[in-house]
Structure 1
Amino acid sequence: MQKSLSPRAPRVLGIAIPSPLRRLFDYRPAGTPPSCGWVPGLRVRVSFGRRQLVGVIVECRDHSELEFSRLKPIDACLDSAPLPEDWLWLCRFTARYYQHALGDTLSHAMPVLLRQGRPFEARTRERWHATDTCSEDSPGKLARAPRQAALLEMLQQHPRGLTSQAILAQSFTREQLRALEAKGLVQCREETLTQAVTTEGKGLLASPSLTLNAEQSAVLAALHEGLDQFHPSLLQGVTGSGKTEVYLQLIEAVVGRGRQALVLVPEIGLTPQTLGRFVQRFRVPVVALHSGLTDHERLDAWQAASSGRASIIIGTRSAIFTPLASPGVIIIDEEHDSSFKQQDGLRYHARDLAVMRARHHQIPVVLGSATPSLESLLHAQRGNYRHLHMRQRATRHPPARLELTDIKARVRRGGLVPPVIDTIGATLKAGHQVLVFINRRGFAPTLACHNCGWMAECDHCDARMTLHRHPPILACHHCDRRRPLPDACPDCGSGDLRPLGSGTERSEETLGELFPDIPVYRIDRDSTRAKDAMDRILGEIRKGEPALLVGTQMLAKGHHLPHVTLVVVVNADSGLYASDFRALEHSAQLLEQVAGRAGRAAHPGRVLVQTMHPDDPNLRLLAERGYDALARTLLEERRVAALPPWRYMALLRLESPNESQLSAVANQAGTAMRGFLQHSKREVDCLGPVPAPMERRQNRYHLQLMLTAEKRSLLHEASAWWVAWLENSAEARRVRWSLDIDPQTLS
């Protein structure tokens, strides 16, 4: 009988190194191979120049372009088993689609501790239990050891046991625990920090599901039809229509079949709220993944999801890279939100990766929003996505419509005109809460001289500095430069310096003066920097007492504020006439989202929108007919203008402190690309170079070039050629550049 031959060990390992270089680096295997052999997905430590780095094996082969004798051996293999295969597939797809270095993509997609070479294993803790042989006369035997007797009594009162940390916090010692263990009275069991939970005999749910209305039931039934196949669904439901309850009951069906659910939310501020609701509903482990976790907490959650112990994973955009042992469904809440797009480094879009990941696993993906992106609406229009609607709120009140308030030639206090102030007063007198939305933090947009017109501008950016009162400084929100308030105008010497415009701090101060007996809660990035600050403020708000809420878009997204019956938008004009072609879409989505905070419970809501342009046709269309009507108009305008989502786009951004050098490189890049397109006869348009909307930022100049094409494949061919040209150009190495596939902003 012929013996089977074991596969021959590879002579060369193609390793992805965390660097901007878009290539693999060849090394020789060294040391004892892991039990799984040399396979893709293993982390290794290698010498790279003068540094030691952690890389990932991507290829195992017998040949290299370099002579075998010139290849360095790896220093160490860090894993006994490869990182999950589905994670490696997703990273390779991401690097290829977004024209990014694979090594940098892999590094971005794994927790910090794995990048540093820590073991990929779950942390454990000790849990102590009283033993079954512990008799009633045990305390008598411990008469000479009263602290041991007290410790035993405490453990007997906790059938599920207590962790070492909890026991030591009660002033007991490890010596007392070991003494009881030696007498056979207690035992210690090690458990992972995220334990798998068995639901046999208990049921999956910790609290019962809510009763669905007719629309929710129809949507849930449609989603149940495709649980075993790739089925993208766009769930468009007005704010307060109960989308989260549909998600919960869909996840109940998925987890009940032994599968996992991945839920992405746009903001870290929404994660604790969503996590709490899921923990209350299910008995299975639910973990969160977001930037607010410690490195150890993030690795614990990642490992729990990868091993299958965690059945539900909730996170922000980076959680799309979480490996899953048994994926069952992916849900993207507020799918339109621009927070799902990473704006620097690896410029990926978590929503688009979620769709591709669901296709790879052949599982359903649900994109939920009250104001879907135009990309998703076009997919639904073409039949690529199933379009599900929920047009009614779970309460009996219809969604509040926008009421436009003309503020031209009117005196304003803290940005508010008298009729709006009167309405705020009447709402508070009725015992309700008011949300004042102003999408600008700080006291005022800038400081100006009333004598000569000087304005406080940033020395490093083409932007004005924002005036803050607490502490009193001028701050640039683009480069974070700060400087003290001037005593006099630097141009004319006048001391008549006045704040121009309104920010959240100024509105907070004005409302406090107007309504001194009503608490004012300001919610922006400045007021919520401290840990748990957001939760504390929301806790006060949910008590239901009359209150004024002053907030930026942090407060506009996803929060359930049942006692708010009036929403005031201080200035709706900032997004109407911006240079970015997506500005009106994003502005309309934000207005609809903030309007959705009003009237979500027992009382109907109102939304007052202050504007200098109440006759603007797009704003009136949004106010009178809603987001759907405006979205149809914008889609047609984009089609005529040959803009996304009808065409695909890539944006090349270049920056340098040397303006002339930057201009020369940008012109060379444009000329080279047009030559390539003409020679290859590819139907791709190249536009630019042109200055970025903010040409100078952080003392660096910024230029842009744009590619557009009707076919995604043609855009990627041209983009890949451009990347290769830039990497091989000596002149391009003197500037900083990045290529953004499917950019969500031109800034």
Structure 2
Amino acid sequence: MQVIQVAIAVPMPQLFDYKIHTPAAAGSAMSEVLQSDPLLVKADLGDTVNVDLIGCRVLVPFGPRKCVGIVVRVNVESDYETSKLKSVIEILDIAPVCSQQMLTLGKWMSDYYHHPIGEVLQTLLPAALRKQQSGKTRAAVATQPYLQLDADSAAQSDVDDLLARSVKQFDLYRLLEKGRQPLSAIKQEFTPAIVKALTEKQLIEKVDVVEKPEEWTTQLTISEKPLPNVEQAMAISTINLASGFDTMLIEGVTGSGKTEVYLQIIEPLLAAGKQVLILVPEIGLTPQTVGRFEKRFGIRVGTLHSNLNDTERLQVWQQAKDGSLGIIIGTRSSIFTEMKNPGMIIVDEEHDESFKQQDNLKYHARDIAVYRAKQLNIPLVLGSATPSLESLHNALEKKYRHILLPNRAGSAAMPAQRLMNIKGQPMQFGIAQGMLEKMQIQLAAGNQVMVFVNRRGYAPALLCHQCGHVEQCTRCDNPMTVHKSANNLQCHRCADIRALPKACAECGHNELDTFGIGTEQLQQGLETLFPDYSTVRVDSDTVRGKGKLSKLLKEINQKKYQILVGTQILSKGHHFPDVTLVVILNVDSALFSADFRAPEKLAQLITQLSGRAGRSDKVGEMWLQTHCPEHPLLQDLINNGFSDFARYALLERKHAALPPHEHQICIRSESQHKYLSIHFLNLCAELFTQFKHAKVLGPFPAFIEKKQGRYRNLLIIQSASRKYLQQATEQANKALSEMPVSRQVRWSIDVSPIDFS
């Protein structure tokens, strides 16, 4: 018997002691299983398995529940009597699912983000491994469904008679006579009804197979590649000369060929049998990126994003871990993917906010990438046309190597950027008359036009024309958004839905008007104004569902649509060679935001949107409609570009003692009772005032003060020293957890916050 310490996903910072009987040496039957699949096999405590417990999952009793935990330490001297300790119910693995390297990462994240170690370690694992419970027959190993002939079907002499009336059924049967086939491939050629009919006739059966992919190094074939321009060649040479840990920031204008640089720098790594992990900000970028990498290297690329089911994600995770994949491309959480032979990590569009997890464990994937690259002693490449001020500051301070791509690749020219003063102009569906004329010219020339408005739905509000009452969400004190296609009102904060009212709730009058413009109304309006051209809407309402966004993007590039209407989804690095005009609506509100990061975010958005125009040999232009054309931010951005704006913004931040020159943590508090939330943060503020090198700002309401019936408030703690701030927060965190009021509110610590809503 020994005592082990287990990390459990509960909001408590400590490890938990359990006793366990030490398993004996492995028997011959289990040895065969180990040889066939040494990664993940479920084992009962009664099995004779030689287990290296550290990093394995175990099923343990925790109060009235049974929880999956991860073993962090063994042979522990417990502070409790061994006889009083609870016993482990079941060992779920015979080999660690969490390596020592990942345990070290988890410990660092727990300390850095001031988050319970159990919840951190669970975050590092695929969802399928977090959910595994005792009594489930499905092993943790990922399998693929295949179809094969039924074991008894070969003895049937009347197969021809059974299938005489169905050519398709007969074709499928003959196909399976050659050997079993993946169900995913079968579905592309045969309908589910055909598969079901053959199964009911007991001619075929479905089996789950643990796929062993072909060794990717033997499949590697480099297709013809373009000759890089001088700037690209210098970037490729600089990165290829890097050895060991080195962080490099590629600051390249939109269309400068950053992806081609990525392709050429990973070529020698793949040839040497090394693996590469590439992070992209959005699911929508994955298909086009994957297609380009697969075409260049002739190997399958593993993908990790939220549109995959748990089994699919687990399979890619395992194949990356055992070295069966050379390239892994994924969104934020893919930074936790283990690689057998790591060669490089690339973070594309590193400035994007989606790399920051805003719920629960508030990590930033870009920052984790820096730690992991150092841990693995491999290069890290960050790329963006509009780098975050944090990364740019590190590059200018020589902490990162700075690589510039100031010109577009090939013959493409930078789009002209212009402001349209819409004061006093007649407007139709939020678009000025002069802008409609420019759109008509481009459409008549056979080009595509993109219109951006950062508001989905039909209209942001519904109001009564008689009394002025606005329909609001009672849980959020927020106007409900009108969605005419769904015939309802929706709260975009808490997702509450209610039917469209026929009369005013206040005065009973039935003259209800919409206020403002959303993507849905803009699409309908443009279809009316330009009936000869097809319009498509790209927002979170229209791309919901597996493969929907990929399908829309493909249709756009096939010129099925001439007018593109959408939200920020359209700004995320997509390549639309026929878009020559980008129109940006309704950005004036961001010019007067209380968020000190608002100018940076707006400048990034405008620059990224502008970059969607003129990406081939066609001349592109971007027009921004505004009531404030004289605003200094817009003038600087339009006349001098993002690079100049960013460096001036860094100087402003320095004089204002704001990040990245100083460091912040944010303590967030929520309660159904406003005074409780504020009271808790006031106690926090008193606690932090004892640290003389830390500044306390607040408490103050969050930008979205009320959400889902809870009042939300913030407290900012700031210091010029990151180390000092971390030590102060660690000490304060322990004291805060012991305060009685801390159990009456929801609260969390956000290190390096980027959003105060």
TM-score (norm 1): 0.90
- The aligned runs of 1:139-154 (5 Å cut-off) are none
Q: Deviations over 1:494-529 (max 9, x none)?
A: 443322111111111110110111111000011111
- Residue-by-residue CA offset, 1:304-332 (whole Å, 9 max, x unaligned): 11111111111100101111111110000
Asked if 1:60 corresponds to 2:74, the answer is: yes
Q: Distance in 1 between matches of 2:734 and 2:480?
A: 39
Aligned partner of 1:4 in structure 2 is none
In structure 2, the residue matched to 1:135 is none
Cα-to-partner distance string for 1:535-594 (whole Å, 9 max, x where unaligned): 222222112356100000001111111110000001221321111111110111011101
Given that 1:194 and 1:300 are in contact with CA atoms closer than 8 Å, whether structure 2 keeps it comes out as no
Alpha carbons of structure 1 residues 563 and 166: separation in structure 2 relative to 1, 3 Å: closer
Is contact 1:195-1:285 (8 Å) kept? no
Name the structure 2 match of 1:224. Answer: 240
Which of 62, 67, 75 aligns to 2:89? It is 75
Hey, what does 1:514 align to over in structure 2?
529
**Matched residue type, 1:697:** K
Please give the secondary structure, in 2, of the residue aligned with 1:233. strand
**Within 2, Cα distance between the matches of 1:511 and 1:92?**
53
Query: Which of these residues, 273, 276, 282, is aligned with residue 288 of structure 2?
Result: 273
Distance change >3 Å, CA 674–CA 144, structure 1 → 2: closer
Residues 41, 57 of structure 1: 8 Å contact kept: yes
Which among 464, 471, 486 is matched to residue 456 of structure 1? 471
1:395 matched to 2:410: yes
Asked whether the equivalents of residues 581 and 620 of structure 2 are also in contact (C-alpha less than 8 Å), the reply is yes
Distance of 2:751 and 2:514 partners within structure 1: 40
Q: Does 2:43 align with 1:29? A: no
Q: Describe the shift of the 1:735–1:108 C-alpha distance in structure 2 as closer, same or farther (beyond 3 A).
A: same
C-alpha distance in 2 between matches for 1:574 and 1:487 = 31
- Report what 2:30 is aligned to: none
Bigger drift between 460-469 and 43-52 goes to 460-469
Output aligned runs, 1:170-249, within 5 Å.
Answer: 192-193=210-211, 195-200=213-218, 203-205=220-222, 207-226=223-242, 228-249=243-264
Measured after TM superposition, the shift of residue 190 of structure 1 is 9.7
Residues 116-167 of structure 1 deviation map (CA, whole Å, 9 limit, x = unaligned): 22644342566989xxxxxxxxx9x999976999899956997x97447867
- Secondary structure of the residue aligned to 1:218 is helix
- Opposite residue 719 of structure 2, the aligned amino acid is A
In structure 1, the residue corresponding to 2:120 is in which secondary structure? Answer: helix
Task: After superposing the two structures, state which structure 1 stretch, 120-129 or 565-574, moved more.
Answer: 120-129
Match of residue 61 from structure 2: 47
Offset of residue 273 of structure 1: 1.9
Contact 2:60 2:89 in 1 (8 A): yes
CA distance in 2, matches of 1:558, 1:352: 21
Aligned counterpart for 1:292 among listed residues 266, 288, 307: 307
Give me the whole-angstrom Cα distance separating, in 2, the residues matched to 1:615 and 1:645: 28
Matched with 2:674 is 659
The RMSD of aligned alpha carbons is: 2.8
CA offset at residue 488 of structure 1? 3.3
- Deviations 1:692-735 (Å, cap 9, x if unpaired)? 12222111111111111111111111111222122111111011
Deviation at 1:445, TM superposition (A): 1.6
**Alignment partner of 1:485 is 2:476:** no
Question: Is this contact kept in 1: 2:52–2:96, CA < 8 A?
Answer: no
Q: Structure 1 residues 194 and 100, CA, compared in 2 at 3 Å: closer, same or farther?
A: farther
Cα distance in 1 between the residues matched to 2:727 and 2:186: 62
- In the TM superposition, residue 91 of structure 1 has moved relative to its aligned partner by 1.9
State, as a whole percentage, how many aligned pairs show the same letter: 41
Instruction: Report the number of matched residues.
Output: 710
Task: Kindly indicate whether the alpha-carbon contact (under 8 Å) linking 1:447 and 1:466 is maintained by their aligned counterparts in 2.
Answer: yes
Instruction: Identify the residue that residue 732 of structure 1 maps to in structure 2.
Output: 742
Which stretches in structure 2 are left out of the alignment for 5+ residues? 25-47, 133-137, 164-169
Q: How do residues 512-591 of structure 1 correspond to structure 2 at under 5 angstroms? A: 512-544=527-559, 547-591=562-606
Partner residue in 1 for 2:684: 669
Measured in 2, the distance between the counterparts of 1:148 and 1:242 equals: 58
1:333 to 348, 361, 366: 348
**Secondary structure at the residue paired with 2:320?**
helix
- After superposition, where does 1:298-313 map in structure 2 within 5 Å? 298-313=313-328
Matched, 1:599 2:614: yes
**1:20 paired residue number:** 11
Partner of 2:704: 694
Note the C-alpha offset of 1:60.
1.7
Asked whether the 8 Å contact 2:555–2:561 carries over to 1, the reply is no
2:645 aligned with 1:627:
no
Residues 252 and 194 (structure 1 numbering): CA distance in 2 closer, same or farther, change over 3 Å?
A: farther
SS at match of 1:688: strand
Judge conservation of contact 1:648–1:710 (CA < 8 Å) in 2: yes
Q: 1:649 to 1:456 in 2, by over 3 A?
A: same
Cα separation, partners in 2 of 1:112 and 1:222, compared to 1, 3 Å: same
Q: Which residue of 1 aligns with 2:427?
A: 412
**Aligned twin of 2:166:** none
The answer as to whether partners of 1:30 and 1:75 remain within 8 angstroms in 2 is: no
2:371 to 345, 352, 356: 356
Q: Distance in 1 between matches of 2:203 and 2:472?
A: 66
Aligned to 1:185: none
Amino acid corresponding to residue 746 of structure 1 in structure 2: F
Structure 1: stretches of 5+ with no match in the other structure: 1-8, 130-138, 179-187
Report the alpha carbon displacement of residue 238 of structure 1 after superposing the two structures with TM. 1.0
Secondary structure of 2:226's counterpart equals: coil
More displaced, 52-61 or 374-383? 52-61
Aligned partners of 2:614 and 2:499: how far apart in 1? 42
CA distance in 1, matches of 2:76, 2:728: 32
**Which stretch has the larger CA shift, 386-395 or 489-498?**
489-498
Checking the alignment, whether the CA contact within 8 Å between 1:561 and 1:597 is kept in structure 2 is yes
Aligned equivalents of 2:119, 2:215: Cα separation in 1: 36
1-structure distance, mates of 2:657, 2:696: 13
Q: CA deviation at 1:635?
A: 0.5
Q: Deviations over 1:35-82 (max 9, x none)?
A: 554542011110000100110011123311112221111111111111
Q: 521-530 or 161-170: which moved more?
A: 161-170
> Aligned in 2, Cα 1:46/1:443: closer, same or farther, shift over 3 Å?
same
Give matches, 1:702-721, under 5 Å.
702-721=712-731
The answer as to 2:141 corresponding to 1:121 is yes
Cα separation, partners in 2 of 1:556 and 1:57, compared to 1, 3 Å: same
Aligned 8 A contact 1:285 1:309 in 2: no
Q: Distance in 2 between matches of 1:377 and 1:462?
A: 38
After TM superposition, the structure 1 stretch with the greater mean CA deviation from structure 2, 505-514 or 450-459, is: 450-459
Residues 424-465 of structure 1: per-residue CA shift (max 9 Å, x gap):
011101111000011110111212333443323221113222
Q: 1:621 to 1:151 in 2, by over 3 A?
A: closer
Give a deviation string over 1:623-642, Cα, whole Å, max 9, x none: 01000111111111111111
Q: CA deviation at 1:113?
A: 1.6
User: TM-score w.r.t. structure 2 length?
Assistant: 0.89
Amino acid of the structure 2 residue aligned with 1:225: L
Secondary structure at the counterpart of residue 103 of structure 2: helix
Distance (Å, rounded) in 1 between the aligned partners of 2:503 and 2:172 = 72
Moved more, 489-498 or 579-588: 489-498
Q: Which amino acid aligns with 1:277?
A: R
Partner amino acid, structure 1, of 2:141: E
Q: Which residue of 1 aligns with 2:44?
A: none
Measured against aligned partners, the alpha-carbon deviations of 1:72-107 in whole angstroms (never above 9, x if no partner) come to 111111111112333222222212211111101111
TM-aligned CA distance change 1:452 to 1:122, over 3 Å = closer
